[in-house]
Structure 1
């Protein structure tokens, strides 16, 4: 007798259960994020409401630019760049310290749909060239003092050729050989020549480079929609994390604009809110304290090393810093000891922290 074993029946495969999703919602109303607006339109949305309010304060010269002046100059900068052949999608390198010209070049490029890649003027010629090449920039806006870094770098194209246009911002001297004057171009520019450009939320607006902590610096693509979203989460809505008052607040911009913290959480947020921005080319304690007292700075964006310098410096007692109501720290963790030390010097200020190119999380300062 032959016995035949019954075939084994495979057990049914387990049905994958849907992952449990928990959603935490704020009790506050949702923030309306106008991602359909290009970054420049979003930031200057209040320009028509505040035409005579201060917008940019150039601490180095003492000149103040109103919102109406700044908005017009940004459009004229766009027309000037357009006249040099810059078009949508092109890359423009801005090799500058904090300055009015940095702001105009950035928004001028944005208006054209071009992309700004900002670089540290203190970088070596080799480092500047690597960013220039990796970004695909066709034009550089800089100062005469840094032109030799471009001229003496053998890998750069010849200045003033179709491969490289160099624009210098100095208004007290003739442009270096092979360069053109930023202010000559902007002053004579006709905004009527601006092309119609359709900008989508996913179009890039900036290409900053990382600091290279995990290897060589890398370009980080920032879009119009992404930056609008990041700024909106800080200054828009019923209970903004960074509450700047239109026509009243003055934000300290001493951290370099070629770093995203200063660009996003200082310049872009202040303009969106209708506040003024005091631009300092670089950190110098005496000049910074004098500027804070002179222009009654109310919002101070800092990093931990600057907090330490402020907390330990006896010069604070020689200047009236009572106008400061918000101290915003970012880029690195800020320890409680440092917070307490600076709070003892600025007891009237509220402290907040922010991290990332657009904050991942932030607490209301109210």
Structure 2
């Protein structure tokens, strides 16, 4: 069962901040240019997403990029119901957690929505994780079942050495594994779910504050933590984007929305899948990114809405093969997960001049969307290049001085904070981390530095938080540092980001060797590579005599980043 520290979120008139200045100051609250709307966040998520099913039942809902198979909205809903019954038949009850360890595919959707229908919770995980990473999340979430592909089953077989825990549950004995293709030994076929009797779904009472999704995020710092997103959280976030007479993200019934970003990431799960289900748009599922296949599918299926991340934008903007394909169907390009530079935005504009290009900004803990380009609206507003839009409707945003907590006005850079019903309920079983992120007035502190200009547009300029963003994926330095210092030849270590044209940022380590030990860069990189997913691997190792730290022992990451910047400048012709 899921339990979190209770942090109620309200949208009442804000109270004055507890400022350090001698006189209280009224908060500068920023709101959307779009009016607030009624949101049906009293419903369960699956009911909300399929609320318009009767009028779109025969429309394409899911399109498999690999097989070409198309599921209508009726078929998608029916198979999700069958999956719900199948999960119940296997003993999954309200509050239980299932792990979805899949690349993008229709079964991901069936499992996620089916779990919602019985009040269960889905924790989504990257199938490219190492066994250690998978089982850390599995154990923290207390999952009871894994839905995956046969190619990943070997990662689940031997858990004897995970965290050196001899009592860790064993596959086939203590937890079930269901594969969407030919099941290996001790695994069940997905048909036990998808062919169950939909009339056998148990009747459960689902409260808006019940959890439905449990993605893992490193937050502003530290190790990955479970983010408890409720039915109310996700419905509010989806509604903020696609509901109302003038939705912020206008999706039409004849739209085909590209889903190449992984569904285990909240950006794709929310802004692509759930928004499309709610709006009645078709979702084109690609299980992995390959530029030629991507372009061919865009051309064949006449993709009209493309959700992307900066590395994908880079490929579309600069790869010469793009010119061989017809991209004229694309009307919207939404970039998220990491900041998109103005130069790259303009380069892409040359490829798809007919499309509206813009950015959204979010974090997992915020449900995830904080802001979005109003150029995507049904009745669009003019937007600025480099902006990540304006705050979503039915929410409040403020910018504070990171040192004093004082609220700042227009064009003043500070930490961005968001308040609304879309934010997380809290971190899983971590009241301390929750309290450090959501204050007593319900403001979620993002750790990002930005400002709001005179037109209400938000610009991100820096990060307080330490998380490295590799192609939109989170790389927590603390996780890599913990692994590094576990090496017998390493006395101390620090990991910081280095700018990279393709990835945005890459992790670079500064390492102090233990006395008397010889250690090479390749040995350090190999040591880490064996234990982490590909995007967390070190790209460079610098050996130093000491890690710069403050008197309190905090790593002075700015000093290390400055060293990298100086070295990069010295190499520039």
TM-score (norm 1): 0.91
Q: Distance in 2 between matches of 1:27 and 1:122?
A: 41
Q: Distance in 2 between matches of 1:293 and 1:273?
A: 23
CA contact (8 A) 1:95 1:142 kept: yes
Of 63, 74, 78 in structure 2, the residue corresponding to residue 57 of structure 1 is 63
Question: Map of 1:1-366 to 2, 5 A cutoff?
Answer: 20=26, 28-154=34-160, 155=162, 156-161=168-173, 163-170=174-181, 173=182, 175-187=183-195, 189-210=196-217, 214-246=221-253, 248-356=254-362, 357=364, 358-365=368-375, 366=380
CA contact (8 A) 2:86 2:192 kept: no
CA contact (8 A) 1:94 1:117 kept: yes
Deviation at 1:17, TM superposition (A): 7.8
Unaligned runs of 5+ in 2: 1-21, 163-167, 381-573
Deviation at 1:177, TM superposition (A): 1.0
Q: Distance in 2 between matches of 1:355 and 1:320?
A: 29
CA contact (8 A) 1:92 1:139 kept: yes
Q: Structure 1 residues 77, 239: CA separation in 2 closer, same or farther (over 3 Å shift)?
A: same
Q: Distance in 2 between matches of 1:211 and 1:311?
A: 31
Q: Distance in 1 between matches of 2:344 and 2:140?
A: 39
Cα deviations by residue, 1:203-238 (Å, 9 ceiling, x for unpaired): 111100115772221111111101000000000112
CA contact (8 A) 2:64 2:284 kept: yes
Q: Could you say which structure has the higher strand fraction?
A: 2
Unaligned runs of 5+ in 1: 1-15
More displaced stretch, 306-315 vs 355-364 = 355-364
CA contact (8 A) 1:77 1:108 kept: yes
Deviation at 1:304, TM superposition (A): 0.6
Deviation at 1:20, TM superposition (A): 3.2
CA contact (8 A) 1:301 1:328 kept: yes
TM-score (norm 2): 0.58
Specify the alignment match of 1:3 in structure 2: none
Q: Distance in 2 between matches of 1:346 and 1:151?
A: 46
Q: Structure 1 residues 312, 18: CA separation in 2 closer, same or farther (over 3 Å shift)?
A: closer
CA contact (8 A) 1:51 1:66 kept: yes
Q: Distance in 2 between matches of 1:77 and 1:253?
A: 22
Cα deviations by residue, 1:184-213 (Å, 9 ceiling, x for unpaired): 4312x0111111111111111110011577
Deviation at 1:30, TM superposition (A): 2.2
Deviation at 1:359, TM superposition (A): 1.5
CA contact (8 A) 2:178 2:190 kept: yes
CA contact (8 A) 1:239 1:364 kept: no
Q: Distance in 2 between matches of 1:361 and 1:251?
A: 20
Deviation at 1:106, TM superposition (A): 0.4
Cα deviations by residue, 1:274-326 (Å, 9 ceiling, x for unpaired): 00000000111111111111111100000011101110111111111110000
Tell me the matched-pair count: 345
Deviation at 1:31, TM superposition (A): 1.4
Higher Cα radius of gyration: 1
User: RMSD of aligned C-alpha atoms?
Assistant: 1.7
CA contact (8 A) 1:240 1:364 kept: no
Q: Distance in 1 between matches of 2:31 and 2:274?
A: 27
CA contact (8 A) 1:29 1:238 kept: no
